[in-house]
Amino acid sequence: MRTQNEKHSGRIMVMSKVGKSILILGGAGFLGQKLLRQLFADGAWCGHPIASVTSADMTALPIDFPNVSEIVQHVGNVADEDFISNVFQKHYDVVYLLASVVSGQAELEFDVGYRTNLYGGIKILDAIRAQATDTKLIFTSSLAVFGGEVPEGPILDHYQCNPQTSYGSQKAIMELLINDYSRKGYFDGCSLRLPTVTIRPGKPNAAASGFASGLFREPLQGVETVCPVSTHLAMWVSAPRTIITNLIHAGKISADDWGMQRAIALPGISVSIEEMISSMKRVAGEEPVNRITYKVDPFVENLVRGWPAKVIPEKAIRLGFAQDRSFDDNIRWFLEDDKV
């Protein structure tokens, strides 16, 4: 596997008639685009040749996206039944379900969040079920499934879900459904509870965790920004490179190895806002740090306080998922991969 810091050469992938057909729901988003780039960089998926790659999202991929002519694109709303029916006119060996309404928007727009993240998700599960029993489904869940009256200290694999946001509730329900559909043999699914992914490139979005990217992305690109939470708050975070590595690795895990619980917390690192800012200073110097001002936003702070700050991802480590080493790497990798 080529590492994600290697710039994409734009080479043509040789598609195989006997290879895997891959669908990425949310392919035009941040993670979707990075996953697509990695697939073309590798020229394979989990050691298997690739027959076709399809992206389905609200928007099309940029016209200058590498190998865009080799990617089948469907543009529409994943909550729309006709759109999903059209996407699933063909069989897919692998489905990545990355598309969702983000946390902050799902909390503020109750109906929109449930229509997309839950009811749209169920339509997708049923579309896969109607096709075959051998499809691999990899769903991006969230640590927002935890909350409320959890014990002090780190989150363990066996802790009960008790989400305190609509977004977390939607993800938790999808996890249960994926467990049940997989138990019935309708497909081979898993749910990956992602840490906060930082540093995300591009423009800010409505995710409550988006500040954890903007806090570094903007200053590193010469733009002032505001820190909306107390700097002593800690978060469970992971770099985009590590997340993409783990999204692909999930495809290698057998049903037997998943066992009866197919939802796991992915590895990350527990780091405070203050420690993350110190990492930026070590890697990039004082100037970016001086572009940060501090003003607590109670809405964002209350949401973040409800998220686990530390996790012990025992099962994920046992299954071979990758773990970040330090936030210094996150800063360096952003400068190498995504700074504009």
Cβ-proximal residues to 165 (8 Å cutoff; 6+ apart), any chain: 103, 106, 107, 144, 147, 303, 306
Token pair listed for 116: 């997309």
In our burial notation (b when 16+ CB lie closer than 10 A, e otherwise), range 247-278 reads bbbbbebeeeebeeebbbbbbbbebbbebbbe
Token pair listed for 223: 């733009």
| Catalytic site includes residue 167 | yes
DSSP annotation of 159: P
- Measured CA to CA, the distance from residue 12 to residue 249 in angstroms comes to 23
- Provide the 10 A C-beta neighbour count for residue 214: 20
In our burial notation (b when 16+ CB lie closer than 10 A, e otherwise), range 291-317 reads ebeeeeeeebbebbebbbbebebebbe
Q: Kindly report the three-state secondary structure assignment for every residue of 74-115.
A: EECCCCCHHHHHHHCCCCCCEEEECCCCCHHHHHHCHHHHHH
Distances in Å between the alpha carbon of 283 and those of 127, 214, 220, 231, 332?
A: 47, 17, 10, 19, 7
- Measured CA to CA, the distance from residue 56 to residue 75 in angstroms comes to 6
Amino acid type, 304: V
Query: Per this entry, what is the length of the chain?
Result: 340
- Provide the 10 A C-beta neighbour count for residue 32: 21
Dihedral angle of Cα 194, 198, 201, 203, to the nearest 10 degrees: 90
Find the catalytic residue in 92, 96, 167, 186.
167
Q: Kindly report the three-state secondary structure assignment for every residue of 224-252.
A: CEEECCCCCCEEEEECHHHHHHHHHHHHH
Residues paired with residue 193 on neighbouring β-strands, in sequence order: 141, 265
Annotated catalytic residues are: 167
